[in-house]
Structure 1
């Protein structure tokens, strides 16, 4: 609570260097340490509401990391890494309720919030990762499988960093399915 009172939101996107933490040998670039903000992608309450039932019970999202992942605080005070590719709910029509069983085995990060803060370090951005360039390149479309997730929850666009939204909107325009998604955004009043 003292951290929120003193710093509130820390937006790592607007910093000169890339900062992150090491989680079991994997570098996780930090995006935002959440606080109270009018911007939904920085707001603690809005983010936790958006991920309700997607992150395990009793966990609270406290930071966004690694382009779609979260750092979560457990009531025991420990910090865990919620990986959207491993721990999110996924729709599967072969399953009775429509979702695969959720993987709630989150990776351990730190014993406390203070330990997590002490782990933050400047990291080198990997400019040699072609998949990362494709993800940020507004001229390369998203695969249809990725767009399916947006159809399920179009409001998650507001969880993206503000500067990323125009890139994603341009990428959506590049495919027929992406253009259908943009129509859905308009119908739901997400974008004009």
Structure 2
């Protein structure tokens, strides 16, 4: 009985369920919103649908995002990591190897399809919503290009490459790689197979790396 009494006398360990932070909620909502935008298009998506799919109240969603446009901008910002893996820690790799990682040349096909699918959405609905292109440029491409220029500038400061204009080098690289992939909506027609496309992208990176190699 003593043992039973001891157990009975132990205070119950109760506590409120762990509540996720606003940052966690924001990341969750942004990921759900990306799926909703791709599935229904920008025109067919509403903040109410996103809130329902994310399992949050509209009040919670509006606390974090004031409008559908602001939510879309957040999705583009998150999608940026699918474009370039930057910023990243310093690594003991060649310039070419680092660039292959930055551009995620070996990205699995599902993630690559997610990346292409979101871009297809933007270009498909840009005629009706021209602000989408502006958001993609501001939150996506321009920010990504600046991260890449910063990375190139850091490698130049280390004496690992010679490049008089890192911003121009970043633009050159992005034009070569993303242009080489072909348009998101017509990639299957641009290349006979994924292996051929990847070989081309690696060749582009190798040529760039040789061109900027420190002498």
Higher strand share: 1
Give the TM-score normalised by the residue count of structure 1.
0.27
Give the TM-score normalised by the residue count of structure 2.
0.25
Q: Which has the higher contact order (CA 8 A, sep 6+)?
A: 2
